[in-house]
Amino acid sequence: MTVLVLVEDGEPSQQTLTLARTWSDSLHSVRMDAVTPFAPDAIAAIVQRAADALSAAAVFAAGTDRGNDVMARVAARTGLPFAANCIAATAGEVVEVTRQRWGGSLLEKSLMMTVRPLLTTAPYAFRAAEGFTTIAVDVQRYIDELDPKDLVVRVAEHIDPPGGGVSLAEAKVVVSGGRGVGSKEGFAIIEELAGLLGGRVGCSRVVTSAGWRPHSDQVGQTGTKISPDLYIACGISGATQHMAGCKGAKKILAINADPQAPIMSLADYSVVGDLKEVVPAISAEIRKRR
Amino acid sequence: MALPKHARVVVIGCGIVGNSVAYHLGRLGWRDIVLLDKGPLPNPGGSTGHASNFIYLVDHSKEMTALTVESVRQYRELGVFTESGGVEVARTPERMQELTRRMASAKSWGIEPVSLVTPAEVKKLVPFINEKIILGGFYTPGVGVVDSLRAGTLMREAGIASGALQVAANTEVTGIDVKAGRVSCVRTTGGDIEVETVVVCSGVWSPRVALMAGAHIALTPAVHQMIDVGPVPRFAGARSDIEHPIVRDMDTNMYERQAGGDLEIGSYAHRPILYNSEDLPSVQQAALSPTEFPFTQADFAPQMEHALELMPEIVGDEKVGVKYAINGILSLTPDGMPVLGESSDVAGLWSASAVWVKEGPGTGKTLAEWMVHGQSEIDVHASDAARFHEHQKTRAHVRARAAEGFNKTYGIVHPAEQWASNRNVRLAPFHQRERELQAFFFEAAGWERPFWYESNAALLDEFGDRITRRTAEWESRWWSPIINAEHLAMRQRAGIFDLSAFTIFDITGMGALSAVQNVALRQMDVPVGRNVYTPVLSPHGGFKSDLTIMRLGDEQFRVVTGGASGMSDKKWFRDHLPADGSAQLHDLTSAMSTIGLWGPRARDILSAATSADVSNEGFKFGTCRWIDVGTVRVLASRISYVGDLGWELYVPMEQGLLLWDTLWEAGRPHGLAACGIGVYGTTGRLEKSYRAHGNELETEYNVVEAGMSAPRVKAEDFVGKEAHLRHREEEPAAILCSLTVDNHTSKSGEKRYMLGREPIVERDGKRIVDRKGRGSYVTSAGAGPSVGKHILMAYLPPDKAHEGEELAVEYMGERYAVSVAVVGATPLFDPENLRVKA
Amino acid sequence: MKILVCVKRVPFTGGKMVLAADSRSLETRHLGFTISPHEECGVEEAVRIIEASGGESVVVTLGPPEAVEQLRDAMALGIDRAIHLQTDGDEWDGEATADAITAAIRAEEASGQFDLIFFGNESADACGFQVGLRVAYALGRPCVTGLKGVKLEGSSVRCEQDTGAGRDVYVVPLPAVVTVKEGLNLPRYPSVPGRMRAARKPVSMQTPARPEQSLNLEELSVPGGPGRQTKLLGHGGAAAPAVVEMLRDIGVA
């Protein structure tokens, strides 16, 4: 039995390989950048044909934007079922999968009726082993035989991010404000602390809905998912929608007047108090010690 | 923060109510006060946190108005009150009439200034209103908006600063221990606290918290829908939360207020949506807060149309969006009043629940006074937590009445309006007979009581012109001229009355005499077989109650009191039983039924039914004893609340029907008429200037002012004695008088009849205020068919309390001439009391 | 221009997920419902396009009878009419959902093709990441996913995808299908007149039969695991020194 793994441009996702290895020792791979510029329908066509050629028992990819996109296209072309963001999948006549819902706030156990499950793996959701290798599929033949209509959707242009600096997703420290900040102006103290720590400002969904911050600052299930070394959540209650975006943080410090706010028990560190008092005090303390 | 192991009092709930109760207890000298909330501070997630926070001053209820006015005083003192003014607008002629009643209530309770305004004037006050759809408004400049969370914080801080108060947020009460009927310990997630007293100020959670101690608080969480629309271009430069008058669109049960750059629209118009206390979500579970439920759009659809009609400029603006919409949860009670005071279920467990932001601080102060001094400055008998009869504490009753009352929040409620829901829950044994006589039933304490009998319509012809007819719809509502006909039939022959709603309890035991002496103003050490009508005083010498006590044995006293105040009176007696257990209280309300038999032919009728000597010599006024009526042993008490010869006849509940039938049969040759409570409670009583608790008799007035002081005061000690002795030395600030209406004719030529609570003013309309600052108003109003006058009772300052003094009453926006007929307790009818003693 | 937006009714959750007794759905007794956030932006974008260029917008959902509330919500924002594919409340997998929507679109397109069809990138609850693409394939139209920028340029649409390191741009011919993400725009609030109009706008109702599912939900669970041990660093501003110590310990200050 062999399985096919769709790997991202650079290194394959160890997470994905870890799950794929529970199915088979024989891992074949197709690279997402087999066609450049990126053309998701073309990749999906290649995956479809490679899987057929290999008689792959399953196809795996990482549950990234592109991973889920291409896998859904494979599903659409083949009529096979697709389970996104899995953390477990057991091989068998009926495939039992455990996958994330609500951005990871809930888990779903489902049974897949299929000969070839299409699965993506949830990032950060389970421990990945290291050191797996794959056999690269020779895709040139499939590329040569591509149907031109599979090249209609294709990256035509890339726009670099404005301003430089680290992105929210990559920042080592993120200081976020929520409803408790109270206003657009209230973010001054959040910005100050983020600046002192060399980090980025984030916020919760309430804040972007109110128009206090742009959506690009939003941490959460429908915003940016982050994995900084430290996440400081100020005046954020910790609704599931928000936690889905920040649970990848190595450490979380929550500052909230309400010790019963959900985030206060989901964080590594907590300070009970009004953020308008606590945040400036931390900034002052940092300055004092410099 | 660690909780103390012991506290004088634990106050549960950091909403506006709990904060102010704790603060005022400290201010009055209590120490070791602990204030808890399961939520965080300053907004623990209860109803205070989403309140619209505006305060209208005028309510038809004197008690509610007083609590509100006191609250505003405190909010102003705390610097959290912003005066904005408020206009209640009318879309219908009925509402315009109602607004004139509001003018009258404002004058009765001393709310100034207020005015009726034209649509054009409303437009001036509220430029964004569509004045074309309104007929006018009632403007109160003193209406305003408060910051209730800040008020709470300031009160907590003051309590902490004084050393009286410790506050623990995020501390949930998990249990309340009761030992020997009294609270002993509050168990919390932060540790256990031994306590003497607990105050439940937990709002919509109060029933759940009280139940931990086994006590019932009759309230239900209910939805009040609110939306917030904005940004409103007109409010773009708003410098504060409120800069325009708040509008109440009374006829659609809605309000609209500016809230910064937005407009807030609230509604009491939607279907009643009730929850149970135990079903509210936790802080963690709730998407917003535990008392902000998801908005149910469909329930608000008609309200949007109404808001659009009234404020098209704002609400109709396509660029103004619905930014926020919730089903806010607040507390409703079965009778619309708060639940204040000590529970009758568990000693030491107090409640300040079902209190809204507008009356919060006033309630806190009132409850604290009550706890510390045993009496509050404001009489809150209508809010007394002990007022509920058992059936009124059931969930079914609470929900039924709360649902019915919800849509009356801004309703035009007639003073005699009866509830439609949950009726027929307590029936007299002769109820079927009353139905056969086509009784029109009013409810008292759950009892169905005939107010009049349609079968007596024939009496209308008999008494012809002596019966005043009413043409105005308002005062014909919940009324019938048959009441007056029954009255005249009783005065001429005899009437039989259903008095089953009486609350009856015995005080027995070695300590019984001292127990009743201690609460009664009058001498209770009377011979066995005497009945005594006595005021019951509050510690400050005001009226706690008035009732009758019969001495049935050396160690047995039977207390008879009204249904409405019965439970509260029972608690009062129980609380004042000797500590050594030498006297006991037994409630006989559901064991005994009572029939009243009065009129010049009453003796003839009773003697036809009994072999007992019921002659004037054989059965003197003011006495009571057991007599046999056929096979029924009846406790007969010669006493009268209608001013005629006759008896109250107490009978075992299961023999009530038999007694009724026996008397009915015996009365037939004498022209006995079944008479409703309309005669007993109004016409008969008023002709005799008999006082009623809750009308004339309140803690705010004393015995001397009510004209009820006896020549001597008994030597024995009793509650309120010291104050009473002092009152006897003082010149009274007001004297209760009976007035009669000189001219009933309105400007439109229709004759009008006052119903009570209207202001008594000078002929030029000037308000009359006594030296204690109490305004004169009609405490009771009703026909006096035998004297041919419409009678009003009112307290007047001594300089106005003269027979023949010409005054006026304001009613429905007009003034009617009245004159003082008698000063003090002298009755208009049969002033020598010859009839009762005949 | 004729535009379709597909939306899904999802609960508006708080801080804690509570499961129903059978562990097959969320306990929603205390929860409100909303259009899945990504799709709210789809609705807004559709309304803006029609406002700018004229034409007609339609919203479709597959969901229980109560999902009509979300259709009205969309119409309150300016969508012209709605199609309700009514279910009995059971969940449909991605394939079945896509088939039902495809069938509804085909029927609807008898009276004119949709130039552009909006989906959310993934639903907030099921997070299946596939319905839009499956529909696009079935209709034989190009589909670009995860968009934070959608701009009509003549007979094609310019699509911008946020990659975390800038944006990838695709230009595809109409008719096309796009799946969008929150942040595409800031959705407006409904006006009161909008709400009132929405109540009168037409909703056509169909009840497609639920086919055999290839992904069958067995059970839901709330992820447990060791979680984090929370250390309280103090109360109020007085906690600042302890916070800075911690920052030093973990090497960020």
Cα–Cα distance for residue pair C24/B127, rounded to 1 Å: 54
What proportion of chain A, given as a percentage, has pLDDT over 70? Answer: 99
In this predicted structure, what is the pLDDT of residue B39? 86
Q: Which stretches of A24-81 are assigned E, i.e. beta strand?
A: 26-31, 59-62
At C41 the pLDDT is 97
Sheet strand arrangement including B789-796: B760-762, B806-811, B814-823, B735-741, B789-796, B778-784
Q: In terms of Cα–Cα distance, which of B537, B518, B538 is closest to B377?
A: B538
Any CB–CB contact under 8 A between A265 and chain C? Answer: yes
CB contact under 8 A, C32 and B294: yes
Residue C226's pLDDT is: 58
Q: Distance between CA B493 and CA B470 in Å, rounded?
A: 25
Grade residue A7 by pLDDT with cuts at 50, 70 and 90: very high
* Interchain proximity C233–A113, CB inside 8 Å: no
Q: Which of B37, B228, B384, B546 is catalytic?
A: B546
Q: Rounded mean pLDDT of A55-80?
A: 96
Q: Is the per-residue pLDDT at A170 higher than 90?
A: no
Q: What is the pLDDT of residue C7?
A: 98
By a Cβ cutoff of 8 Å, what residues of chain A touch chain B? 239, 256-262
Residue B54, pLDDT > 90, answer yes
Residue B1's pLDDT is 57
Q: Which pLDDT score, from 0 to 100, does residue A49 have?
A: 97
d(CA A142, CA A147): 10
Contact at CB, B285 and C199, closer than 8 angstroms: no
Residues B612-666 have pLDDT tens digits of 999 999 999 999 999 999 999 999 999 999 999 999 999 999 999 999 999 999 9
pLDDT bin (cut points 50, 70, 90) of residue A169 is confident
pLDDT of residue B241: 86
C217 sits in which H/E element: strand C215-221
Give the per-residue pLDDT at A14: 86
The ipTM estimated for the assembled molecules is 0.94
Stated pTM of the model: 0.88
Report how far residue C37's alpha carbon sits from residue C8's, in angstroms, rounded to the nearest whole number: 9
Mean pLDDT along residues A189-193:
95
Which of C14, C188, C190 is closest, CB to CB, to B285? C14
Using CA atoms, how far apart are residues B307 and B292, in angstroms rounded to an integer? 22
Give percent of chain C above pLDDT 70.
99
Q: Mark the ranges of chain C whose per-residue pLDDT is less than 50.
A: none
* pLDDT per residue as tens digits for the range B697-739: 999 999 999 999 999 999 999 999 999 999 999 999 999 999 9
Express each pLDDT in B268-285 by its tens digit.
Answer: 999 999 999 888 988 777
* Whether the predicted pLDDT of A164 surpasses 70: no
Per residue in B156-166, pLDDT (tens digit) is 999 999 999 99
Which chain C residues touch B315 with a CB distance below 8 Å? 192-193
CB < 8 Å to A179, chain C: none
Q: Do C199 and B301 touch (CB under 8 A)?
A: yes
Name every chain C residue with its beta carbon within 8 A of the beta carbon of A251: 250
Instruction: Name the CA dihedral angle for B45, B46, B51, B53, rounded to a multiple of 10 degrees.
Output: -100
A contact residues 180-209, partner C, Cβ 8 Å cutoff:
196-197, 199, 205, 208-209
Handedness of CA B284, B287, B293, B294 (dihedral sign): negative
pLDDT at A210 over 90: no
* Predicted local confidence at residue A11, as pLDDT: 75
pLDDT of residue B43: 85
Q: Check residue A9 and give its pLDDT.
A: 74
Q: What is the pLDDT of residues B348-362, one digit of tens each?
A: 999 999 999 999 999
- The answer to whether B553 faces chain A, any CB pair under 8 Å, is no
Contact B265, B254 (CB under 8 A): yes
Q: CB pairs below 8 Å between A and B: how many?
A: 21
pLDDT tens digits for range C168-213:
999 999 999 999 999 999 999 999 999 999 999 999 999 999 999 9
pLDDT at A130 over 90: no
What are φ and ψ of residue B24, in 5° steps? -70, -30
| Neighbour-count burial for B782-806, b at 16+ CB within 10 Å, e otherwise | bbbbbbebbbbbbbbbeebbeeebe
When pLDDT is averaged across residues B414-431 and rounded to a whole number, the result is 97
Residue A67 sits at the chain C interface (C-beta within 8 Å): no
Task: Determine the pLDDT at residue A209.
Answer: 86
Q: Is B640 exposed, middle or buried (0-12, 13-18, 19+ CB in 10 A)?
A: buried
Cβ neighbours of C1 (radius 10 Å)? 16
Look at strands B136-140 and B54-55 and give their pairing.
Answer: unpaired
How far is Cα A75 from Cα B267, in angstroms, rounded to an integer? 50
Angle at B318 between CA B316 and CA B323, to 5 degrees: 95
Q: Is B753 considered catalytic here? A: no
Chain C positions in Cβ-Cβ contact with residue B302 (cut-off 8 Å): none
- Residue B46: how many CB atoms within 10 A of its CB? 29
C14 and B286 in contact by Cβ < 8 A?
Answer: yes
Convert the pLDDT of each residue in B538-583 to its tens digit. 999 999 999 999 999 999 999 999 999 999 999 999 999 999 999 9
Buried residues in B459-496 as b, exposed as e (16+ CB within 10 A): beeebeeebbebebebbeebbbbbbbbbbbbbbbbbbb
Instruction: Determine the pLDDT at residue C252.
Output: 84
Between CA B447 and CA B458, with CA B453 as vertex, the angle to 5 degrees is: 175
Q: What is the pLDDT of residues B462-502, one digit of tens each?
A: 999 999 999 999 999 999 999 999 999 999 999 999 999 99
d(CA C202, CA A136): 54
Q: Virtual CA dihedral for B199, B205, B210, B211, nearest 10 degrees?
A: -170
What is residue B466's DSSP assignment? G
Let me know: does B324 contact B231? Beta carbons within 8 Å: no
Using an 8 Å CB-CB cutoff, list chain A residues near C37: 205, 222, 241
Q: pLDDT, tens digit, for every residue of B229-248?
A: 999 999 998 888 899 999 99
Q: What is the pLDDT of residue B385?
A: 97
DSSP for A194-216 reads: HHHTT-EEEE-HHHHHTTSS-GG
A255-277 pLDDT per residue, tens: 998 887 889 888 999 999 999 99
